[in-house]
Structure 1
Amino acid sequence: MSSENELGPLVRRWGLPVKQLPSATAGIDELQPFVASILKEAIPFIDTAAPKTPSGAKKLWKSKGSKSSPDSTAKVEIIERVISAKELQAVAAKNGIKAKVEEETWAARLSVHEDAAKKGTASWDEFDHSFRLEHGKTEMAFTPTVIGANEAQRWDCTGIELEEAGQSWDKFSLVVEEMRHKVGRPVLKDRTFPVLQLSCAVKEGTGAPEIFIVSIPVPDFATSDKANLSKEKGAQIAFYASIERIRKLEDGKIEWLLGTASDAAGVLPLWIQDLALPGIIWKDVPLFLGWIAKERGKADAKDSSAPPADSDAKEGTEDAPQVTTEATTEPTATTSDAAAVEETKPEEAAPEVTTSVETSKAAEESKVEATAEGTEGAKV
């Protein structure tokens, strides 16, 4: 069982309202304690999913098996942690939070990859560039259901350095990212996820390379003058909190860990979304590795077709592939979607997912996952 002492109020599915974000002109004196409070909460929480020391045990997380794909040479382990409503009510009461409190199911995926720019894996530089420097663009590029992304707000984190969890951190970035996902047009509404996203890295020369990324919902971001996708007519706001840890291991390999709790805010009950989540989040691993392999292929083809140095050909006639704001084709794969049929009427969905009384839990989860995979879904 988890204890309320290790649970914080920030990295929760209920999110942070706009009024609790740093001011638009915040300087280091305001930003440093704010990002420190997020790190202080997020690091120990996700460390329980994959302890850094051999003595650490995943006592709070339950194994949900592993998955594999031709696009990844590494298997993906799936684990789950359920935080009761009672525990979260204690956290909310302690911190004066008035948000609706419900049980949180966190699903996490863990994979270990060779540090190499080749098929089935990726190099450290590719991970760093893709997820620390270009997180929104990368996610839009490799996730089939993402049809819009907008960096709505950014704070200047220059000069912020912190000591947390026995490590020195720098290279901080703090933004509000809005992302729109297609979840099964025309029957299902698109979902817009506005999140406050913090990223940082272990300071070079002070420890093993590590990247840390935390996403926190901003449920009322449509009220901000910085909002774009969130205030579009008919926008359906959805929520996810996530913590991502990418680090170099002693043997030189790269460990990639991500945990998330989400709510697509549709009519599909949250418990059904939670059942589907563990069997779906792992797909981001092969999706990313398949995408990065294609990007390498494009770069190699471009290099091989480039004119010699003494050529009269004009420079810049070929540009790198650009990330668009609309998907150009229908996706052929589903990614991280725990809300695939949220607008389906409960009575229509029932034959697929309400057999828990007659079947085992394993059979029920299998049916829920199959239902979710059969439609297009939202990134969570």
Structure 2
Amino acid sequence: MSQPQYSFLFSGLPIKLSEVPSEDAIIAAGKEILAASVNWKPGKTLQKVVKTSMYSPGSKDGKGGKKWACRFSEHTRDEGTFDDFWSGLGTNKAENEMQFIPEIKKVKLVKSLSPNAEIWTLYYELNLVMSPRVFTVLQVKQLGEVDSMREGVVVSIPINLSSTEDEELAALEEKGVKGRYASVEHILELPDDKVEWRMATSSSPGGLVPQFVNDLALPGAISKDVPLFLGWMQAKKATAENAT
């Protein structure tokens, strides 16, 4: 696979706010990565239903460079409809993630750039040994259709707020070791009321954690989010139904 055109996302490196591409370019970059992920090196099936794959850009054998991991799963209507998934992952994404990902302790809206683009900072406590991590990302979302089936895309790119003109925004970040991640979340409506959920990501926790340790753990870490989200989503629906 050749190097993707949109290297600003595939590199996974933080971008200064003044250099952020257009929303269309960010969504296009995310879709390019989604299309590429179909051909990544297959990995294990985790959590019984979550398939994984890995890719290293700039490496023909997939063993070098900055690694990306992907997970994908299909879900029946009993597990959740397209609207259920999009409500949880495409609306108030950071706030919702804090409800079902135990490591996320705080989230804060740094700046809203448009109805579909917001900068969020997320504060993680990964374990008792590591210092807290802070991830600041721009999240851009798009809801559309493919072959008359609905699809939703959310692209997160790491943001660097170290410039002088961004001091007020940087002050909103929690204190902790700066990590970074880029991700593409994709919700696709399938026939028979099924939903495909695909997510690709590249990350670095920062600090003294070796990158290869993070890369080895990444498929398992992102796969755990699937049952966590499903449980949270179904509990939320049950609470809403009992309230009516």
CA RMSD of aligned residues (A): 2.3
- Determine the structure 2 residue equivalent to 1:191: 133
- Determine the structure 2 residue equivalent to 1:165: none
Shift of the alpha carbon at 1:189? 1.0
Is 1:76 matched with 2:40? no
Distance, in Å, in 1 between the alignment partners of 2:132 and 2:58 is: 29
**Cα distance change on mapping 1:156 and 1:229 into 2, 3 Å:** closer
- Determine the structure 2 residue equivalent to 1:67: 46
1:42 partner SS: helix
TM-score (normalizing by structure 2): 0.89
Is 1:111 matched with 2:73? yes
- Pairing partner for 1:10 from 8, 11, 17: 8
- Determine the structure 1 residue equivalent to 2:29: 41
Say which one has the larger Rg. Answer: 1
Distance, in Å, in 1 between the alignment partners of 2:142 and 2:162 is: 23
Q: Would the aligned equivalents of 2:119 and 2:136 in 1 still touch at CA under 8 Å?
A: yes
Q: What are the within-5 Å matches in structure 2 for residues 117-196 of structure 1?
A: 121-157=79-115, 173-185=116-128, 187-196=129-138
Q: What are the within-5 Å matches in structure 2 for residues 148-297 of structure 1?
A: 148-157=106-115, 173-185=116-128, 187-202=129-144, 207-220=148-161, 224=166, 225-230=168-173, 232=174, 234-297=175-238
Q: Would the aligned equivalents of 1:241 and 1:261 in 2 still touch at CA under 8 Å?
A: yes
Shift of the alpha carbon at 1:275? 1.2
Q: Structure 1 stretches (4+) deviating beyond 6 angstroms?
A: none
Distance, in Å, in 2 between the alignment partners of 1:294 and 1:40 is: 34
Q: Would the aligned equivalents of 1:145 and 1:181 in 2 still touch at CA under 8 Å?
A: yes
Distance, in Å, in 1 between the alignment partners of 2:241 and 2:202 is: 38
Shift of the alpha carbon at 1:291? 1.0
TM-score (normalizing by structure 1): 0.58
Q: Would the aligned equivalents of 2:71 and 2:223 in 1 still touch at CA under 8 Å?
A: yes
Unpaired runs of 5+ residues, structure 1, are: 22-32, 51-57, 70-74, 87-101, 158-172, 304-380
Structure with the bigger percentage of strand: 2
Greater relative contact order, per chain length (Cα 8 Å cut-off, separation 6+): 2
1:284 partner SS: helix
**Cα distance change on mapping 1:228 and 1:254 into 2, 3 Å:** farther
Partner amino acid, structure 1, of 2:228: L
1:218 partner SS: strand
Unpaired runs of 5+ residues, structure 2, are: none
Partner amino acid, structure 2, of 1:13: G
Distance, in Å, in 2 between the alignment partners of 1:10 and 1:228 is: 25
- Pairing partner for 2:242 from 301, 304, 307: 301
Distance, in Å, in 2 between the alignment partners of 1:197 and 1:292 is: 21
Distance, in Å, in 2 between the alignment partners of 1:45 and 1:221 is: 27
Shift of the alpha carbon at 1:66? 0.4
Shift of the alpha carbon at 1:283? 0.7
Q: What are the within-5 Å matches in structure 2 for residues 311-330 of structure 1?
A: none
Q: Would the aligned equivalents of 2:16 and 2:163 in 1 still touch at CA under 8 Å?
A: no
Shift of the alpha carbon at 1:292? 1.4
Shift of the alpha carbon at 1:206? 7.5
Q: Would the aligned equivalents of 2:81 and 2:194 in 1 still touch at CA under 8 Å?
A: no
